[in-house]
Structure 1
Amino acid sequence: MDQEKVNILLVDDQPAKLLAYEVILKDLGENLVIASSGREALEVLLKTEIAVILVDVCMPELDGFELAAMIREHPRFQKTAMIFISAIQVSDIDRLRGYEMGAVDYVPVPVVPEVLRAKIKVFAELYRKTRELERLNHELEDRVRARTAELEASTAKLRESEQRRSMAIAAGKMGSWDWDWISGDWMWDEGQYNIFGVSPENFEVNPANVQALLHPDDVDQLRKAIAEFNKGTRAYETEFRILRPDGEVRWCVGTAAATTDESGRVVRVSGVTVDITERKRAEERQNLLAREVDHRAKNALALAQSIVRLTRADEVKAYVNAVEGRINALARVHTILSLSSWQGAELSRLIDEELAPYSLGDQIKLAGPEVQLLPATAQTLALALHELFTNSAKYGALSTRAGRLAIDWQVDEELLTLSWEESGGPLVKTPKSRGFGTRSLLASIESQLGGQAQFDWRAEGLLCRLEVPLTRKTAAAAPSKFDTAGAAELQRASG
């Protein structure tokens, strides 16, 4: 069954940016609502139920912070998810102010489409799941009230309730039971037997047998319920787990109501059991997804932030080209990792992606086995390869048709060794100082991955050798001569 669409409010005073957000979020299949100002957004909110608000921080009249404050003052929108988009560097104070206003996250410009879609999707699903849980909770409360009323109502109402209960039994998700408090006799309906995975033919309903089917950690819930009824409690509700005879664990929610005699003594307890296993599993999957998306988004944003902060150039155009090149390299490896569900990336695929913009034909030769890289290793190595290709295309073998480049790699005991050999290009001279690209490559390979990078500036062409651990264990244990020197080098580059 198709899930119900939710409304996502996009707030920005620039039509071009609104159009870009619509294009990015179109594939989510949700309803996109547009507002070109803070006041227009407030009007939309008063008329429409909104799941997520994507708002620009910098707007005339009402900026993003002021709009967030006004939204949070309204009781209906105190829990509505708001994501800020900022085209300027956001300070910790601004970020803290945003969170105080109710923002759940920040998205910097330029926007990474995959990251923005992932964030919006998570909060849209959380909104949809919250509404579904509220609906289920209302249904459960209604059923408890209906069940209690049925015990005191006429035969006609009891018959109507039985028809509704039969429909639930057919779905195998609900059962009812009755316990004679005086004689100790139990009565289970078909749905109750189905939930516990037993049958009337081979299972005798009594306290000992029922307790044997409860999860050991939840047995105290039964004892607590009995104690509460002995103290005069008339209704009780709790969640618990059962261990079916076949070993399967199921989550249930149980509600019970007591019937008393004229003296107030409990004479009978009746209840309803609802199997909520699928709901619990859905919640676990959703929580896992939210944590995973948050982790990956933070990693990608941290890399992008480092690229922007550390890139240096003599003029604006060169700076923009350098940043765009590195961000595009990060985006390409992100796409590769997404296609593998973030299980890893093939080294040859990373190299092919970096080669694609050049169309150099037979100038480049590749040789090496298939190597699967961990996500973190793939991201870092992709940026390192990007620096090598960029420098070669500007100054090295790839800057002329006569130039040649040979890339080969091999793996020995979980250590990847990659050789980069240029020839036939312009005469090479050993640089007097390392450029930013070389420094960042050294930092990423040696400091982040625990590997080593060696450069031989031969007259006939650059020879570079990279050694990269392929496992987390190896990477963590590998000695790194760059741990302190490399970090200082990058600090000088950024300064």
Structure 2
Amino acid sequence: MDHEKVNILLVDDQPAKLLAYEVILKDLDENLVIASSGREALEVLLKTEIAVILVDVCMPELDGFELAAMIREHPRFQKTAMIFISAIQVSDIDRLRGYEMGAVDYVPVPVVPEVLRAKIKVFCELYRKTRELERLNQELEDRVRARTAELENSTAKLRESEQRRSMAIAAGKMGSWDWDWISGDWMWDEGQYRIFGVSPESFEVNPPNVQALLHPDDVDQLRKAIAEFNKGTRAYETEFRIIRPDGEVRWCVGTAAATVDDNSRVVRVSGVTVDITERKRAEERQNLLAREVDHRAKNALALAQSIVRLTRADEVKAYVSAVEGRINALARVHTILSLSSWQGAELSRLIDEELAPYSLGGQIVLAGPKVQLLPTTAQTLALALHELFTNSAKYGALSTRSGRLAIGWQVEDQLLTLSWEESGGPLVMTPKSRGFGTRSLLASVESQLGGQAQFDWRAEGLLCRLEVPLTRKTSATSASGKFEDASSAELQRASG
């Protein structure tokens, strides 16, 4: 078999002996390196990797023992095989000294070629095997280092992925869990504990404890899921509610998947829980808003229909103007309320909106604190103010440049009192009958808001006083429609 040649160093001060050694060892098919002195041998060792050294004991200047001692002092050659050749009979003490210097064997002169070749061959093979083992060990170490680096990299990526997953779960209000179907053991991650409002230190995850946190109306969902998995279902999803230890109710959606053995029996169920409480609340708000919008739209259409049907005028132009004015007043207050998400409207804002079309300069004086009106109150007062402004602009103080109007309001014990005082306009006479605007104003303020409306038709100008309770639960009645839906009925009665 072909093999990698190794270097054999032959050290002797006599050329004839070196030649003889070369002839004897030629059949080994190894590299033979010649050195005629100890110093020359040291130079060769520093430049060449040597497997076996064959050295003569008796040499001038540096004998074999001294050369062996110097070789062994170098870390590279502490295990290099050295064979001593001696032409004289050596004593046991000399042999012991040689072995102490690092010799592995002695060969006496005359040299038996077969014996020398056999000994050199053994040490060459031993060197070759040692080097092969070193290479294999190095390759194994390289593989171990590469595999270790690969595992460390994979572990780092897995850890990073787990961190991202944990962050995503936390951000998404998610939790994951695992249930050993055979042993009944549960495993929850941090997100699962957070959703249920419990801590790993104080809460033991087991079926009774988990069931105790489920909403009573949703406990059957857990039983149904278990039954489905027993029937062979591999995945299951459902919405359910939990009741945290502090009493808070949370909505969740749970997704579970089963792991089966070779016999298709469930051995493990793993899943994810997502807290969807905010989504549920948003859906409820959206549904409530949709119903509220639907109700308000119907009510607004009812009001507009009543205005159109019950408005009276001697000619078409006057009729159109009256209808447009009342519907515009209704639209303006709806705009104000929508900007506040139907939470209410500020009284002075309503008045400013009604004043905007007139451009009356300094004819009007306003005085009063900030008053926040509930939606129904704001709608009713907006229409009432529209009627007062329209009447004043046609027949009262605002119909002339000399006329003056003072609007003042105050609140005491949750009762809003608004005074409307005209002066400087045309001479006022008490009307023989009340028009639609006046009758609708009285009906809406008194019947819808539970307030009072008083009119004093003084010669110098109209004096009107409105009293409206602010604490009446008009927001609740708005949802039910009792008071808002009464508007058209009140307008019907006002037209009679």
Same fold? TM cut 0.5: yes
- Tell me the secondary structure at the aligned position of residue 133 of structure 2: helix
Shift of 1:380: 0.9
- Relative distance call for 1:423 and 1:21 in structure 2 (3 A) is farther
Shift of 1:268: 3.1
The answer on whether the counterparts of 2:186 and 2:206 sit within 8 Å (CA) in structure 1 is yes
- Relative distance call for 1:300 and 1:179 in structure 2 (3 A) is same
- Counterpart position of 1:23: 23
Alpha-carbon distance between aligned partners in 2 of 1:407 and 1:44, rounded to the nearest angstrom = 121
User: How many residue pairs were aligned?
Assistant: 495
The answer on whether the counterparts of 1:451 and 1:475 sit within 8 Å (CA) in structure 2 is no
Alpha-carbon distance between aligned partners in 2 of 1:303 and 1:106, rounded to the nearest angstrom = 128
Equivalent residue runs for 1:188-199 within 5 Å: 188-189=188-189, 192-193=192-193, 195-196=195-196
Where in structure 2 are there 5+ consecutive unaligned residues? Answer: none
Alpha-carbon distance between aligned partners in 2 of 1:13 and 1:268, rounded to the nearest angstrom = 83
The answer on whether the counterparts of 1:119 and 1:293 sit within 8 Å (CA) in structure 2 is no
- Relative distance call for 1:26 and 1:292 in structure 2 (3 A) is farther
- Tell me the secondary structure at the aligned position of residue 152 of structure 2: coil
1:120-164: CA deviation from partner (whole Å, max 9, x where unpaired): 999999999999999999999999999999999999999999999
- Tell me the secondary structure at the aligned position of residue 18 of structure 2: helix
The answer on whether the counterparts of 1:449 and 1:475 sit within 8 Å (CA) in structure 2 is no
Alpha-carbon distance between aligned partners in 1 of 2:66 and 2:37, rounded to the nearest angstrom = 12
Shift of 1:378: 1.2
- Relative distance call for 1:100 and 1:245 in structure 2 (3 A) is farther
Query: Which moves more between the two structures, 321-330 or 10-19?
Result: 10-19
- Relative distance call for 1:120 and 1:134 in structure 2 (3 A) is same
- Counterpart position of 2:311: 311
Alpha-carbon distance between aligned partners in 2 of 1:280 and 1:233, rounded to the nearest angstrom = 28
Shift of 1:367: 3.1
1:180-211: CA deviation from partner (whole Å, max 9, x where unpaired): 22222234456545544556566543323433
Shift of 1:174: 4.0
Alpha-carbon distance between aligned partners in 2 of 1:333 and 1:57, rounded to the nearest angstrom = 123
- Relative distance call for 1:445 and 1:221 in structure 2 (3 A) is same
The answer on whether the counterparts of 2:329 and 2:382 sit within 8 Å (CA) in structure 1 is yes
Query: Which moves more between the two structures, 283-292 or 126-135?
Result: 126-135
- Relative distance call for 1:36 and 1:251 in structure 2 (3 A) is farther
The answer on whether the counterparts of 2:303 and 2:487 sit within 8 Å (CA) in structure 1 is no
Query: Which moves more between the two structures, 377-386 or 172-181?
Result: 172-181
- Relative distance call for 1:410 and 1:185 in structure 2 (3 A) is closer
The answer on whether the counterparts of 2:239 and 2:251 sit within 8 Å (CA) in structure 1 is yes
The answer on whether the counterparts of 1:115 and 1:297 sit within 8 Å (CA) in structure 2 is no
- Counterpart position of 2:411: 411
Alpha-carbon distance between aligned partners in 2 of 1:382 and 1:111, rounded to the nearest angstrom = 133
Query: Which moves more between the two structures, 34-43 or 167-176?
Result: 34-43
Query: Which moves more between the two structures, 108-117 or 369-378?
Result: 108-117
Shift of 1:425: 1.7
Shift of 1:114: 116
Larger radius of gyration: 2
Query: Which moves more between the two structures, 304-313 or 113-122?
Result: 113-122
- Relative distance call for 1:209 and 1:330 in structure 2 (3 A) is same
Shift of 1:262: 5.8
- Tell me the secondary structure at the aligned position of residue 182 of structure 1: coil
1:200-246: CA deviation from partner (whole Å, max 9, x where unpaired): 56654332343344344433332333344445554432212344567
- Relative distance call for 1:349 and 1:330 in structure 2 (3 A) is same
The answer on whether the counterparts of 1:250 and 1:277 sit within 8 Å (CA) in structure 2 is yes
Alpha-carbon distance between aligned partners in 2 of 1:328 and 1:20, rounded to the nearest angstrom = 130
- Relative distance call for 1:493 and 1:380 in structure 2 (3 A) is closer
Shift of 1:291: 2.6
1:407-429: CA deviation from partner (whole Å, max 9, x where unpaired): 23333333323222222222222
Alpha-carbon distance between aligned partners in 2 of 1:40 and 1:199, rounded to the nearest angstrom = 80
The answer on whether the counterparts of 2:474 and 2:483 sit within 8 Å (CA) in structure 1 is no
1:26-50: CA deviation from partner (whole Å, max 9, x where unpaired): 9999999999999999999999999
Shift of 1:53: 101
- Counterpart position of 1:294: 294
Shift of 1:366: 2.9
The answer on whether the counterparts of 2:253 and 2:275 sit within 8 Å (CA) in structure 1 is yes
- Relative distance call for 1:479 and 1:192 in structure 2 (3 A) is closer
The answer on whether the counterparts of 2:28 and 2:117 sit within 8 Å (CA) in structure 1 is yes
- Tell me the secondary structure at the aligned position of residue 483 of structure 1: coil
- Relative distance call for 1:197 and 1:80 in structure 2 (3 A) is farther
- Relative distance call for 1:453 and 1:216 in structure 2 (3 A) is same
Alpha-carbon distance between aligned partners in 2 of 1:346 and 1:269, rounded to the nearest angstrom = 58
- Relative distance call for 1:442 and 1:230 in structure 2 (3 A) is same
- Relative distance call for 1:142 and 1:94 in structure 2 (3 A) is same
The answer on whether the counterparts of 2:375 and 2:475 sit within 8 Å (CA) in structure 1 is no
Alpha-carbon distance between aligned partners in 2 of 1:293 and 1:341, rounded to the nearest angstrom = 11
Shift of 1:470: 2.0
- Tell me the secondary structure at the aligned position of residue 314 of structure 2: coil
1:96-115: CA deviation from partner (whole Å, max 9, x where unpaired): 99999999999999999999
Query: Which moves more between the two structures, 451-460 or 185-194?
Result: 185-194
- Tell me the secondary structure at the aligned position of residue 237 of structure 1: strand
Shift of 1:4: 73
1:75-110: CA deviation from partner (whole Å, max 9, x where unpaired): 999999999999999999999999999999999999
Shift of 1:440: 1.8
Alpha-carbon distance between aligned partners in 2 of 1:270 and 1:49, rounded to the nearest angstrom = 63
Query: Which moves more between the two structures, 338-347 or 137-146?
Result: 137-146
Shift of 1:379: 1.0
- Tell me the secondary structure at the aligned position of residue 239 of structure 1: strand
Query: Which moves more between the two structures, 329-338 or 205-214?
Result: 205-214
RMSD between aligned residues: 42.6
Query: Which moves more between the two structures, 44-53 or 231-240?
Result: 44-53
Task: Give TM-score scaled by structure 2 length.
Answer: 0.58
Alpha-carbon distance between aligned partners in 2 of 1:273 and 1:463, rounded to the nearest angstrom = 67
Shift of 1:471: 2.3
The answer on whether the counterparts of 2:448 and 2:483 sit within 8 Å (CA) in structure 1 is no
Query: Which moves more between the two structures, 221-230 or 195-204?
Result: 195-204
- Relative distance call for 1:458 and 1:338 in structure 2 (3 A) is same
Alpha-carbon distance between aligned partners in 2 of 1:121 and 1:331, rounded to the nearest angstrom = 114
- Counterpart position of 2:349: 349
- Relative distance call for 1:338 and 1:465 in structure 2 (3 A) is same
The answer on whether the counterparts of 1:12 and 1:59 sit within 8 Å (CA) in structure 2 is yes
Query: Which moves more between the two structures, 358-367 or 380-389?
Result: 358-367
- Relative distance call for 1:455 and 1:76 in structure 2 (3 A) is farther
The answer on whether the counterparts of 2:448 and 2:487 sit within 8 Å (CA) in structure 1 is no
Shift of 1:376: 0.8
Alpha-carbon distance between aligned partners in 1 of 2:325 and 2:144, rounded to the nearest angstrom = 61
- Relative distance call for 1:142 and 1:305 in structure 2 (3 A) is farther
Query: Which moves more between the two structures, 192-201 or 303-312?
Result: 192-201
- Relative distance call for 1:100 and 1:161 in structure 2 (3 A) is farther
Alpha-carbon distance between aligned partners in 2 of 1:381 and 1:86, rounded to the nearest angstrom = 133
